[in-house]
Every structure is written in structure tokens, then in C-alpha cells.
Amino acid sequence: MTDKPIDPFRFRPRARILRLLGDQLIGNSRLAIFELVKNSYDADAEKVTVTLSALSTNAASISVKDDGDGMSLEIIQDIWFVPGSDHREQQRLQNRRTQNFHRLPLGEKGLGRFAVHKLGDQITLVTRARGADIENVVFIDWSKLLDGRFLEELKVEVNSRTPVEFKGDEHGTLITIEQLRQKNWTRGDLRRLYRQVTSICSPFEAPKEFQVILALPDREGDLAGLPSVQDILKHAFWHYTFKVDETGFTWTYRFINHLTGLVIENRESKGEGGLLALDDRGDEPAEEMMPTPGTRKSTKRKKVVVDKDFLEGVGPVSGEFYVFDRDKDVLARMTTSELVTKFLNENGGVRVYRDGIRVYNYGERGDDWLGLDLRRVNQPTLRVSRNVIVGAVNITLERSVDLVEKTNREGFVENDAFSRLRRIVIAALSAMEAERDQDKSRLRKLLDGDHGVERFDAAPPFEKLRSEAPRLGADTALEPHIKRIETEFNALKETLVHAGMAGVGIAVVFHEVDRGVRELYSVIRAGGDAGRLEQKARDLSILLDGFATLLRRSDRGPMKASELVRQARDVSSARFRFHQTRFNCPLLENLQSDFEAPMAQGLLLGALTNLFDNSLYWLRVSRPDVELGAELTRRIYVGTSNDLEGGPALIVADNGPGFKDGPELLTKPFFTRRPDGMGLGLYYVKLAMELSGGTLQFPAAADVGVPEGYDGAVVALVFKQGA
């Protein structure tokens, strides 16, 4: 029996698919209205009026009227009635801007019109194109039209008439939706709708030729008492702007005291043309390992600075942040505290605007796209949370071609470009947080007289207590108690520091052991000789031994400085190679300058590797374009010095950007200028030195004999010899 040919089948979607698309693609009624307003923007409108009438009655309606280009019969038939039309997408790809305001369209998928189906069953479209003598009218009653029919069977009448809605020289589009799905709008619903439609334009860089008005006949009172954004922003203590493009990172920062009766200087600072340092989270992938002989060199590296390549498909990014202070002592001194806190609870966060028009739903109450609240939990004294910031991030439609909006209109597809945008914004925010921390500390000290300052004092004033006791004749009685308290405190402190360093160290262990295993694996895959395999295995063994010492609790005892440096070098050697950094330590070649001192070995090994980690990061920031196989221009120096007060010192220096802050800030817990930093590194180095009887200092390079060419950060670990 031969096969009998069958005519090809065709898809026959039911007409109800249009309603389903409206329900599923648009999250709620407010977002549906938001989408219709965006359509008006694409139509080159200057003014849009959204009207909600006769709410809570059967005559309830929603209308959106604009003064845009309007639509001809051809556009209605070939575009508005064609779901999925690529008309706007082609307009954007061809860089065809609108005639009056030179806009690129925000829509691109031809799905925005489904917003009307989300709102109600009866839809009346009245539109008049620029220069046309007539206006066109479309009426759709979905409750009748969709009854059991197939999509191909739908027929909608379109009429033309002498202008009634758009008279004289007027033009534009009016969409009226009746038989609403949501008839009852509460006061809260209307206030949220107001914030949403008015937030479509950036409060800082909005297109001057686009205005959105919300009209609520007979319900105007529901919007009473709503403050404008500008009313709130004037109470912010911190104001920060930034821009990142191919020329570098430019920013301005202002601290403004709004508290009466509290004398504290306002402060301003700025930067121009510098590099924006990025976070350094996560391990580099295996293909980024140093190449083995006979393999092609890879030039790929995880970037820690923003450059031209990093901005590809994202374009220039700018932003403006207003940051508030919700500390109870601050709010108690503000007459507008309740107004500010209510606004921040509803509207706090960072929103995204493309060509001045909002990309929903970033910055909404339930959205934390930057992870601000989690950052705040991890570092409560430095990071800002969503409920203290009102911010806007601005990108351009023309340059952000790789940022693609989701079909459901709730943000961008989470691709590589979105990840890069997020890293840029977090890095810029981190730079602001470092500046803010200085003024926040000044403010706290004035408010509570040093109480509540977020730090763990490594050296309580036991000696001051001892010096005061004789004056009261209580020295004999108190001394045993003072000594016991001091002993128990130091024991507790050492336990906490060991635990803290282990927490930091464990992450380093996983990172470095994983890298060592991957390097060994790459040598095996490349067919390396036995000698090279043995060397790699030996390197990994030394690495594991070094970390065993790092994580093993060790008592304080005498140790050679050269031995400490040798162990730290072995632990970090793989990282020096991977990041193409030259390690220069004359001490290991010539022991004449060596010294012995009491050291808490495990803690100091962790401290030294921590200093190396800081240097490696900032060297990559200041010298980001080092090619594999090129000269090692990133350099770290370790030497000794007897020129500092207190005893012999180990000196660690590099040729990175150096420190921007003073010692008090550098060693303050949770203070950091690294976007992903915890701000505990130098703090723990300080504690480790104090537990060894020494100090952490920040001398000038010339004062401790640092060789030429190391003009970056200089740190001294000063030991009390013979203690």
C-alpha cells in the first residue's frame, strides 16, 4: 500500500489567545496602563493624559489620550492589527528617529497593544494621523468577538469620520477601555498608579518634551498629601552623581547637614577621568589558566575595571543617587521624618531609565535587582539598603543594544550585558558608600559622643584603668580583677580573630586549591612531561601545607621574618603567576637583614597573604591591560626596615594606585573601596599585629627604603623585638 499524501496542516489559534496573551504578558492593571503610556512615547507624543472615570460603577472606564503621530488606516491594518509586528524593532535597528523629538522606539516586539486586553472587554480606538483630514475609529467588544471563534475568523469594523475627538490641527490617539476587569480601585491602588505613571520619566534626566497627567474625576482626594519626589529629595543627606563611558569614571559627591542645632561642615568631593574598579567575585574559569607549552595563549581575564570592551552593548551609564539617614537620633531631629520614611518605604530603590523612560520593574517595592538589602546585612555599617536611597540609572537606547527587555515587560533578559550593567552600578554605588562612610562617622560622633561607633577596639584602656586606681586607693584591690579581665579579654579576642581569619582564609583555600588542581589538570591534558607534572604537584603540596599552617591555631612564639615571608610567598605563588605579578623580596636572597620576633604565626601568615590579595586586586585595577607573556609590570615588594619607631618591620609595597584614605579609615572595620570587599582585611592585619605585640603602620616609601618604582601602597608590620 502506497502512502497517501495529506495536505499540510495549519495552526488555527482560537481568538481567545489574544486575551490570554494580555493576561499573561502584562502583570497587572497598573503595568498595562504603563505600557499604553510607553506606546504614546513611541508615537512622538508630548503630552499623555490617563483618566479613570466612574470607578466602582458599571460605567467605569480608563482612557489614555496623547498628541502623538496618530495612525492612518494603513498603519492600523498592517501594524496595529498585526500582533508581533517588527515595525518598531526595524525602526530602532535602522536608527530611524521620530520627526519631532528624535526618539528611538522603546517597543520592539509588537506586543504592547495587548495591554488593552488586560484592562477590559470593550475597547474604542480613535486616532488621527498628522496632516490627515479624517480620524479613524475602531470598536472591539471582546466578550462577543472571542466567543468560540478562531483567530482567522475575526473581523473588526474600522470607520473613518470627520474629526470629533481631534479637531482643528489636533492629532494623536485616544484609547478608551470599558467593561473593566478591575472596577474597584482603592485609594492605595490609585496612589500606586500615580507613582507608577509619573515615574515613567526620570526625575533627574527626563525628556523635557514628555508629560504624563493622571486625572481622577471625583476621586482627586485619593491623591491628597502625596509629596512630589523633589519635596523628598531636598531632605537627603548625601547626593551623588556619576558617569561611566569610554573616557573613564566621573563623579561628584556632596554631604549636606539637614539637622538644626548640630554644627558639622558640609563636604564635597569629585573625580574625573579615573578608572571604575569592579567587583572580583567568583573564580576565573579554567580556560583562563596560564597556558602550558604548546597551547595557544588565552588573553581572556575577568575584568576588574570598566573599559571600552566592557561597555560594548551596554553603552555609557550614568546615575544619580540621593541617600537618606534613618537613624533614630537623626529622625528625632527632623520635623519631616514621618513624611520621608513613608515615602522611602514605598519608593526606595534604584530605578533604570532608557532614554529617560523607565524600564519597569526595577526599583519597585518587591524588586532588589542590585541586591542592596543583602549587601547591607553583610556589611551593616557601610552599605546602603533600598529603604534609604532614591536613585536613577540612565542608559541610552542607541548604545544599549544588548540589553533586551523581557516579553512580560518586567526588566531585562538576564544575559551577559545585564550582568555587566549591574556590576557597573554596584561599583559606582560602592565608590559613593566609601565617601559617605567618612561623613556618616562624623555625624554619629556628634550625635552620640563616640558611643555606638561601629568598631571592635583591639586595645582597651587597661593601662589607663591601672593609672587611675591608685588615685582612689583601690589599686591593690582592683589589680587582680583588672589582670583577670585583661587576660580573658585577650583570649576571647584571639579566638575571635582566629575564627574571623579562618572565615576569610577558607574562601582563599578553596580558590587557590581549585586553581592549583586546574593547572595540574591542564598540564596533564596538554601532555606535559613528567618533570613538569612533578613540579606542579609539588607546588600544590606546598600550597596545601601553607594553608594548613594558616588555618591551624598557633601560639605566639619567636619566628624569623624570612620564614614568615617564605610561607606567605608559597601560599600566594600561584596567584602571582596567574595575575602576572613580579614578587620581589631581597630578604629571601640575602638574610643579613633578617630578624626574629614574637609572632602569632597563623594569624600573621593570614595577614601577609591578605596584604598580597589587596595588592593583586588594585594592581589589576591600575594596570588592567597586561597581556599574557608580556613584561611583568605589576610588582609587589617585601623588605625589612629598622627605621620605624617600635622595632624591626616587614615592609609590603606595590606599584598600584596607593591609598586614598588615612590610617583611621583604612583599619576601620567594614570600610572598603572594593565593590565586593568586606572591609575587614586591614582591620584583621591590625589585630594580628597587636596580638603579636606589634603595630600596623603606613609609612612613606622613602622613610623605609622602598626601591624606586614602588609608588603605590606601603604597609609596615612593626614587631616588638625580644618581647
219-237: pLDDT as tens digits: 999 998 888 888 899 999 9
In angstroms, rounded to a whole number, what is the distance separating the alpha carbons of residues 577 and 581? 6
Statement to judge: residues 528 and 664 lie in one domain: yes
Pairing, β 158-161 against β 135-141: antiparallel
In angstroms, rounded to a whole number, what is the distance separating the alpha carbons of residues 582 and 635? 5
Statement to judge: residues 214 and 243 lie in one domain: no
Asked if residue 4 is part of any domain, the answer here is no
pLDDT confidence of residue 514: 46
Check pLDDT > 50 for residue 57.
yes
Residue 503 is placed in which grid cell? 572565615
Average of pLDDT values for 58-74?
Answer: 94
User: How does pLDDT run across 536-551, given as a tens digit for each residue?
Assistant: 555 655 555 555 555 4
C-alpha distances in angstroms, 475 versus 191, 216, 489, 523, 547?
68, 78, 20, 68, 45
pLDDT confidence of residue 392: 95
Model confidence pTM above 0.95: no
Statement to judge: residues 621 and 707 lie in one domain: yes
H-helix or E-strand containing 600? strand 596-600
How does residue 560 score in pLDDT terms, banded at 50, 70 and 90?
A: very high
Asked if residue 514 is part of any domain, the answer here is yes
Residue at grid coordinates 558640609: 266
pLDDT confidence of residue 475: 57
pLDDT confidence of residue 541: 56
User: How does pLDDT run across 362-417, given as a tens digit for each residue?
Assistant: 998 888 999 998 888 777 778 999 999 999 999 998 899 999 988 766 789 999 99
Asked if residue 8 is part of any domain, the answer here is no
Check pLDDT > 70 for residue 278.
yes
C-alpha distances in angstroms, 329 versus 204, 446, 516?
30, 11, 51
Q: What angle do CA 628, 634, 637 make, to 5 degrees?
A: 140
pLDDT confidence of residue 556: 72
Out of 224-233, 288-297, 609-618, least confident range:
288-297
In angstroms, rounded to a whole number, what is the distance separating the alpha carbons of residues 20 and 282? 41
Reading phi first (left if > 0) and then psi (alpha if -120 to 50, else beta), residue 313 is in left
Out of 77-86, 151-160, 287-296, 439-448, least confident range:
287-296
Average of pLDDT values for 18-24?
Answer: 68
How does residue 506 score in pLDDT terms, banded at 50, 70 and 90?
A: very low
Contact 86, 188 (CB under 8 A): no
Check pLDDT > 50 for residue 294.
no
pLDDT confidence of residue 149: 72
Average of pLDDT values for 166-187?
Answer: 93
The order of strands in the sheet holding 135-141 is 158-161, 135-141, 120-128, 172-180, 61-66, 47-53, 211-215
User: How does pLDDT run across 95-136, given as a tens digit for each residue?
Assistant: 788 888 888 887 655 555 667 778 888 999 999 999 999 999
In angstroms, rounded to a whole number, what is the distance separating the alpha carbons of residues 364 and 34? 14
| Cis peptide, bond prior to residue 58, ω within 30 of zero | no
Statement to judge: residues 278 and 314 lie in one domain: yes
In the chain, the percentage of residues whose pLDDT exceeds 70 is 76
In angstroms, rounded to a whole number, what is the distance separating the alpha carbons of residues 607 and 55? 67
Neighbours of 547 (CB within 10 A): 23
Asked if residue 457 is part of any domain, the answer here is no
Statement to judge: residues 404 and 514 lie in one domain: no
> Strand runs (DSSP E) across 317-388, as ranges?
317-323, 349-354, 357-359
Out of 80-84, 258-262, 387-391, 644-648, least confident range:
80-84
Check pLDDT > 80 for residue 683.
yes
Query: Is residue 321 helix, strand or coil?
Result: strand
Asked if residue 341 is part of any domain, the answer here is yes
pLDDT confidence of residue 503: 44
In angstroms, rounded to a whole number, what is the distance separating the alpha carbons of residues 438 and 267? 10
Report the CATH number that the domain containing residue 478 is assigned in CATH: 3.30.565.10
Highest mean pLDDT pick, 26-30, 104-108, 473-477: 26-30
In angstroms, rounded to a whole number, what is the distance separating the alpha carbons of residues 109 and 91? 12
Average of pLDDT values for 132-152?
Answer: 82
Neighbours of 570 (CB within 10 A): 17
Check pLDDT > 90 for residue 602.
no
Residue 196 is placed in which grid cell? 507608577
**Could you tell me which of 719, 606, 583 has the C-alpha nearest to residue 652?**
583
Pairing, β 581-584 against β 634-641: parallel
- Identify residue 286 by its one-letter amino acid code: A
Statement to judge: residues 632 and 679 lie in one domain: yes
**Could you tell me which of 559, 557, 646 has the C-alpha nearest to residue 594?**
559
Asked if residue 56 is part of any domain, the answer here is yes
Higher local confidence (pLDDT), 66 or 38: 66
Domain limits at 248? 230-448
pLDDT confidence of residue 543: 56
Statement to judge: residues 250 and 188 lie in one domain: no
How does residue 255 score in pLDDT terms, banded at 50, 70 and 90?
A: very high
Out of 204-208, 335-339, 349-353, least confident range:
204-208
**Could you tell me which of 88, 168, 163 has the C-alpha nearest to residue 127?**
163
Higher local confidence (pLDDT), 291 or 228: 228
- Identify residue 125 by its one-letter amino acid code: L
- Beta carbons within 8 Å of 410's beta carbon, 6+ residues apart: 27, 31, 360, 361
Count of all residues that appear for the chain in the document: 723
Check pLDDT > 70 for residue 612.
yes
Could you say which of 448, 471, 488 is where a domain stops?
448
In angstroms, rounded to a whole number, what is the distance separating the alpha carbons of residues 105 and 615? 46
Could you say which of 399, 420, 448 is where a domain stops?
448
pLDDT confidence of residue 298: 41
- Identify residue 597 by its one-letter amino acid code: A
Residue 85 is placed in which grid cell? 509586528
Asked if residue 209 is part of any domain, the answer here is yes
How does residue 153 score in pLDDT terms, banded at 50, 70 and 90?
A: confident
Statement to judge: residues 25 and 171 lie in one domain: yes
As a whole number, the mean pLDDT across the chain is 81
Could you say which of 419, 448, 477 is where a domain stops?
448
Statement to judge: residues 681 and 555 lie in one domain: yes
Statement to judge: residues 267 and 397 lie in one domain: yes
DSSP 635: E
